[in-house]
């Protein structure tokens, strides 16, 4: 229904009525207020200006008078003396006026700041002569804090000593400005002021105030400071803190025990200051307390304590610091601990972080020391040199008395070699009894210790000589085999590396081993020493993983030697006997050969080889042989041990099936057990978060040079799979043109391969994938009972690495 | 008439006091309260020695040294007065050719001795 527009009524907003008269009145009111304001400002401004002008004039008037007073001399003429007297009368008349008094006071205070010497003294006397200090006393009675404060300042500036008694009342004034001004005045006016202040102050002494007080004391002429140690017992902690600082400033080192006690103070500032004092005064007795306090100290105090220990400590503090190094979690403190250790015992701890592995420096090392490093060097450096070995400064020569002189590997006769084999067999047996096989890690540690101990304990001298062919070893200081810790042998056995260990201990070594090199080898420590007998090809594989060029093999087998393997074994068994005593070894008779082409030649190839032969209380060493298949398997197992992981389990089971040798089977079982412990769940193994899903080439690639990168890309072409795609894509983004081209090629190849694999693989994998099951491998299941078929392609991580290393080696050797 | 001294300082009280002391010491003193006045004075007359505060309106003591040494090519001795603790000013002043440097608070007697020494060099 529509309403006609004429019927719609809208009430309009109506403005209230306003009386215009009010508006006029308001305007007049604001105008008057504005006039009053501006007049007020003008009047006040004029008064201030006129006052300043009057003050200026008065200053100009007073200035010559003061000059006359300041420079009046008895030698003046009569006229000058008369003038002086007139001025005195005149000025006394003038100061009867308050304004004049204030101006005169202001002038004198200004001049006091600019003058020194005798003029200053005269000025101070004039101030008091004119009685201006009485005005300052009046100010002290004022209720306004700013007036009181200015009064104290005036009396302090004009050095009115009589005011001391009045000012000390303000020491504990609740108004901080008055209190601080009074503190400065008390310390300034009288020598004993500092004592009164430290005795009586109840309030906090701010840092800035401490500095000002110290500045006052410092500029006091002929000041003899009191023994500030008296206030170390103050109940006001700020007094204690200030006293400690004064003690340090004035070198008052009498209060040793008090300062040491203050290390246990609850306040950090006092602890820190006490530590500073201890450090400054070299209080060695505080070391024990410092160490006691350390555990409950705060972060800053811990660092201060470590700093103090670094200053005062001796090597006796090293165990404490080493313990801290292990237990301390805070990065800063841990760094400080290491710094302190190195301060006490320089270069005790060497850099370990981000130090590249030895193979990273292969080329450089080769250039620097082309021929010095031989087999023995490598073996020595692979030994995890304990810190103590650093202390061996020169050479260590090991010689076992009573050993047969003629036991040289290079020229030993058949019977001697058999004896060597016998002895080694005995050692192996002993070792087997001593150490359980289930503790491979502990064995490694034992090996580390055992290798370092004999060297240090015997005070031996190792001489590593860079002789081109023969290295001779003298062991003079070992009286019997009992002196030598042979606990390292289990490891040697397990890794088939006894030969090289023996070499390591018997080789005459000239250890000019750079620290850096040593560290690298510590990092690279793998206790996989060379096996008893190694084929050249297998040796080369090992060389490639470490320092290929530097490693010179101790032994190289010719074909004849390998063919005689079985015969040697039988002889070895016939010579085995527990009755042979390993009492005395003539290590000097042991010789090794080194050649540039990583070959070791047994001079007398016709001789029968035996690992250790014993003859007439002597011992000699020579290589031992396994069957080729067995040897291959062992080498493979050792490489798996070093490089492999749970993914090699299938391969290990395969090795067990293919080999009948007990040694191989046992070793394989060990590794199965080891990897079973490490075995992640299959789901985890192939999860995106797991590193194992990443390309094995990635790390090597980033460390490699351009040529090697090309080789790696070739390898990827052959063995790569979808895991390499990410790496290849990154190469496409950042690599050089040739690398990009190569990477593109490889990427396309891998993608094609992956597509083929996906097509050929059954789609049921996803549905019934074994990896979807949540299970773990059984740890103690005998390997023999398992019938797991190896993968068809056998492309495990280890296979890929082996293949890659072979290719690299072949490439490098043309 | 004694040797003439140009005293350049904007602090009236100190200038008055030093003026009094120097006159009493036998010197003829001309006081200027700012750098502009000093330069005007130096254009007309060269004193035997200049004693100048380092902080002045219009022209600092450092600029004054530079003006005297490089523009006026004068070897008139210059003694600079400054507050303590401004090492850079001291070094700059000596680099530009100041002969001596006195820090406040000043001993008028000491200043007199230094002036005498510089004039008699």
pLDDT(A797) > 80: no
Q: Which residues of chain A are in CATH 1.25.10.10 domains?
A: 225-349
Label residue A389 by pLDDT band (50, 70, 90).
very low
Average pLDDT over residues A299-323: 91
User: What's the length of chain B?
Assistant: 121
Q: In this complex, which of B16, B21, B105 lies closest to A120 when CB atoms are compared?
A: B105
Min mean pLDDT across A115-129, A166-180, A242-256, A590-604 is at A590-604
Label residue A626 by pLDDT band (50, 70, 90).
low
Report pLDDT digits (tens) over A106-141. Answer: 999 999 999 998 889 999 999 999 999 999 999 999
Is the CB of residue B104 less than 8 Å away from at least one CB of chain A? yes
Residue in B7, B9, B13 to test binding to A, most A beta-carbons within 10 Å: B13
A interface with B, Cβ–Cβ below 8 Å: 59-60, 63-64, 66-68, 70-71, 107, 110-111, 113-120
pLDDT score for A382: 43
User: Higher-confidence residue: A514 or A811?
Assistant: A811
pLDDT score for A1: 58
pLDDT score for B86: 74
Label residue A555 by pLDDT band (50, 70, 90).
very low
Residue of chain A with shortest Cα separation from B19: A67
User: Higher-confidence residue: A784 or A810?
Assistant: A810
Average pLDDT over residues A689-703: 66
Q: List the structure tokens of A622.
A: 């020579």
Residues A292, A297, A301: CA angle, nearest 5 degrees: 110
Q: How many CB pairs under 8 A join A and B?
A: 57
Average pLDDT over residues B13-23: 92
Report pLDDT digits (tens) over A15-65. Answer: 777 788 889 999 999 999 999 999 999 999 999 999 999 999 999 889 888
Q: Compute the distance between CA of residue A305 and CA of residue A271 in angstroms, rounded to an integer.
A: 9
The most confident of A9-23, A166-180, A412-426, A492-506, by mean pLDDT? A166-180
3-state secondary structure chain B: CCCEEEEECCCHHHHHHHHHHHHHCCCEEEEECCHHHHHHHHHHCCCCEEEEECCCCCCCHHHHHHHHHHHCCCCCCEEEEECCCCHHHHHHHHHHCCCEEEECCECHHHHHHHHHHHHHC
Percentage of the residues of chain A whose pLDDT score is greater than 90: 29
pLDDT(A790) > 60: no
Min mean pLDDT across A43-57, A94-108, A601-615, B39-53 is at A601-615
Which DSSP helix (H) or strand (E) runs through A741?
Answer: helix A737-760
Q: At what angle do helices A207-218 and A193-200 cross, to 10 degrees?
A: 160
Label residue A575 by pLDDT band (50, 70, 90).
very low
pLDDT(B17) > 50: yes
Which DSSP helix (H) or strand (E) runs through A591?
Answer: strand A591-593
Average pLDDT over residues A415-425: 47
pLDDT(A383) > 80: no
Report pLDDT digits (tens) over A741-770. Answer: 888 888 888 888 777 665 555 444 444 444
- Measure Cα distances from A208 to A184, A211, A515 in Å: 12, 5, 50
Q: In this complex, which of A60, A64, A114 lies closest to B20 when CB atoms are compared?
A: A64
pLDDT score for A666: 85
Domain boundaries, chain B: 4-120
Chain centroid, CA B57 distance in Å: 14
The most confident of A322-331, A431-440, A550-559, by mean pLDDT? A322-331
Which residues does A675 contact at the CB level (< 8 Å), separation at least 6? A644, A645, A646, A648, A649, A652
- What is the CATH T-level fold of the domain A225-349, as seen in this structure? 1.25.10
pLDDT(B77) > 70: yes
pLDDT(A652) > 80: yes
Average pLDDT over residues A330-345: 89
pLDDT score for A510: 43
pLDDT(A684) > 70: no
Report pLDDT digits (tens) over A346-358. Answer: 878 787 777 776 6
Average pLDDT, rounded, for chain A: 70
Label residue A214 by pLDDT band (50, 70, 90).
very high
Percentage of the residues of chain A whose pLDDT score is greater than 70: 56
Report pLDDT digits (tens) over A253-285. Answer: 888 999 999 999 999 999 999 999 999 999 999
Report pLDDT digits (tens) over A64-101. Answer: 889 988 888 877 788 888 888 888 888 888 889 999 99
**Contact criterion met (CB < 8 Å) for A114 and B13:** yes
Of A493, A480, A383, A478, the closest CA to residue A434 belongs to: A493
**Contact criterion met (CB < 8 Å) for A63 and B21:** no
pLDDT score for B72: 92
CATH code assigned to B4-120? 3.40.50.2300
Chain centroid, CA A38 distance in Å: 71
Residue of chain A with shortest Cα separation from B24: A71
pLDDT(A563) > 80: no
pLDDT score for A688: 46
pLDDT(A479) > 80: no
Asked if residue B105 has a cis previous peptide bond (ω within 30° of 0), the answer is yes
Q: Spell A28-53 as b/e; 16+ CB within 10 A means b.
A: eeeeeeeeeeeeeeeeeeeeeeeeee
Min mean pLDDT across A1-10, A314-323, A581-590 is at A581-590
Residue in B15, B17, B20 to test binding to A, most A beta-carbons within 10 Å: B17
Report pLDDT digits (tens) over A326-336. Answer: 888 888 998 89
In DSSP terms, which residues pair with A462 in a beta bridge?
A: A396
Cβ atoms of A252 and A244 closer than 8 Å? no
């Amino acid at each position: 229904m529509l309403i006609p527009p004429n019927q719609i009524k809208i009430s309009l907003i109506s403005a209230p009525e306003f009386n215009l008269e009010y508006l006029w009145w308001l305007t007049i009111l604001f105008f008057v207020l504005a006039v009053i304001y501006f007049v007020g400002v003008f009047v006040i401004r004029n008064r201030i200006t006129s006052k300043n002008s009057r003050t200026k004039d008065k200053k100009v008037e007073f200035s010559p008078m003061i000059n006359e007073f300041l420079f009046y001399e008895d030698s003046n003429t009569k006229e000058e003396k008369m003038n002086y007297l007139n001025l005195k009368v005149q000025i006394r008349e003038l100061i009867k006026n308050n304004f004049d008094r204030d101006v005169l006071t202001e002038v004198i205070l200004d001049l006091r700041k600019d003058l020194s010497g005798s003029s200053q003294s005269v000025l101070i006397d004039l101030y008091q002569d004119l009685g201006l200090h009485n005005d300052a006393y009046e100010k002290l009675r004022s209720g306004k804090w700013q007036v009181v404060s200015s009064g104290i300042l005036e009396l302090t500036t004009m050095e009115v000593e009589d005011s001391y008694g009045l000012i000390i009342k303000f020491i504990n004034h609740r108004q901080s400005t008055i209190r601080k001004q009074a503190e400065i005045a008390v310390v300034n006016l009288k020598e004993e002021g500092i004592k009164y202040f430290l005795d009586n102050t109840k309030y906090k002494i701010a840092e800035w105030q401490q500095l000002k007080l110290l500045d006052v004391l410092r500029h006091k002429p002929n000041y003899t400071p009191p023994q500030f140690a008296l206030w170390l017992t103050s109940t006001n902690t700020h007094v204690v803190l200030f006293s400690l600082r004064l003690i340090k400033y004035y070198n008052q080192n009498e209060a040793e025990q008090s300062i040491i006690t203050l290390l246990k103070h609850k306040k950090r500032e006092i602890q820190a200051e006490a530590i500073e004092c201890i450090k400054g005064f070299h209080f060695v007795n505080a070391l024990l307390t410092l160490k006691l306090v350390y555990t409950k100290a705060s972060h800053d105090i811990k660092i201060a304590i470590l700093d103090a220990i670094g200053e005062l400590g001796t090597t006796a503090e090293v165990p404490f610091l080493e313990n801290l190094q292990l237990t301390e979690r805070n990065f800063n403190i841990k760094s400080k601990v290491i710094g302190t250790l190195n301060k006490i015992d320089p270069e005790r701890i060497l850099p370990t972080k981000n130090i590249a592995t030895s193979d990273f420096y292969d080329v450089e090392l080769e250039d620097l020391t082309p021929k010095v490093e031989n087999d023995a060097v490598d073996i020595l450096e692979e030994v995890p040199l304990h810190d103590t070995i650093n202390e061996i400064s020169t050479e260590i020569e090991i010689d076992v008395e009573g050993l047969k002189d003629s036991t040289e590997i290079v020229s030993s006769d058949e019977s001697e070699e058999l004896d060597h084999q016998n002895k080694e067999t005995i050692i192996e047996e002993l070792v087997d009894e001593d150490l359980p096989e289930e503790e491979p890690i502990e064995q490694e540690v034992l090996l580390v210790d055992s290798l370092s101990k004999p060297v240090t304990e015997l005070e031996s001298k190792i001489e590593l000589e860079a002789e081109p062919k023969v290295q001779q070893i003298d062991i003079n200081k070992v009286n019997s085999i009992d002196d030598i810790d042979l606990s390292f042998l289990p490891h040697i056995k397990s890794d088939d590396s006894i030969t090289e260990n023996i070499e390591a201990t018997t080789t005459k070594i000239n250890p000019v081993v750079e620290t850096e090199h040593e560290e690298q080898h510590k990092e690279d420590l793998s206790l996989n020493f060379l096996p008893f007998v190694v084929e050249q090809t297998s040796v080369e594989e090992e060389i490639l993983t470490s320092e290929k060029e530097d490693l010179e093999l101790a032994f190289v087998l010719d074909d004849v030697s390998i063919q005689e393997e079985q015969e040697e074994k039988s002889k070895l068994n016939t010579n085995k006997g527990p009755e042979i005593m390993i009492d005395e070894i003539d290590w000097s008779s042991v010789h090794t050969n080194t050649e540039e082409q990583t070959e070791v030649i047994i001079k007398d190839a016709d001789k029968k080889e035996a690992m250790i032969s014993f003859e007439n209380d002597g011992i000699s060493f020579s290589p031992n042989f396994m069957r080729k298949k067995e040897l291959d398997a062992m080498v493979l197992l050792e490489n798996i041990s070093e490089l492999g992981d749970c993914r090699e389990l299938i391969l290990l089971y395969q090795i067990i099936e293919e080999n009948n040798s007990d040694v191989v089977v046992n070793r394989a079982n060990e590794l199965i057990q080891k990897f079973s412990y490490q075995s992640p769940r299959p789901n985890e193994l192939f999860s995106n978060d797991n590193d194992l899903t990443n390309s094995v080439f990635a790390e090597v690639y980033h460390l490699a040079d351009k040529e090697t990168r090309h080789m790696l890309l070739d390898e990827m072409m052959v063995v790569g799979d979808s895991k390499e795609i990410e790496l290849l894509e990154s190469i496409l983004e950042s690599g050089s043109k040739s690398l990009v081209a190569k990477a593109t090629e490889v990427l396309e190849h891998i993608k094609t391969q992956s597509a083929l694999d996906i097509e050929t693989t059954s789609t049921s994998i996803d549905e019934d994938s074994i990896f979807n099951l949540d299970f773990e491998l059984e740890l103690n299941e005998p390997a023999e009972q398992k019938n797991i078929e190896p993968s068809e392609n056998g492309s495990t991580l280890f296979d890929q690495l082996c293949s890659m290393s072979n290719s690299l080696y072949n490439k490098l050797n043309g | 008439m004694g040797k003439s001294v140009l005293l350049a300082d904007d602090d009236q009280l100190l200038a008055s006091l030093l003026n009094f002391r120097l006159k009493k010491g036998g010197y003829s003193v001309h006081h200027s309260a700012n750098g502009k006045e000093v330069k005007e004075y130096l254009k007309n007359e060269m004193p035997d020695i200049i004693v100048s505060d380092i902080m002045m309106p219009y022209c600092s003591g450092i600029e004054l040294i530079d003006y005297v040494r490089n523009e006026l090519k004068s070897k008139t001795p210059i003694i600079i007065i400054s507050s303590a603790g401004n090492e850079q000013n001291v070094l700059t002043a000596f680099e530009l050719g100041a002969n001596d440097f006195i820090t406040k608070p000043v001993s008028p007697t000491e200043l007199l001795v230094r002036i005498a020494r510089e004039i008699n060099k």
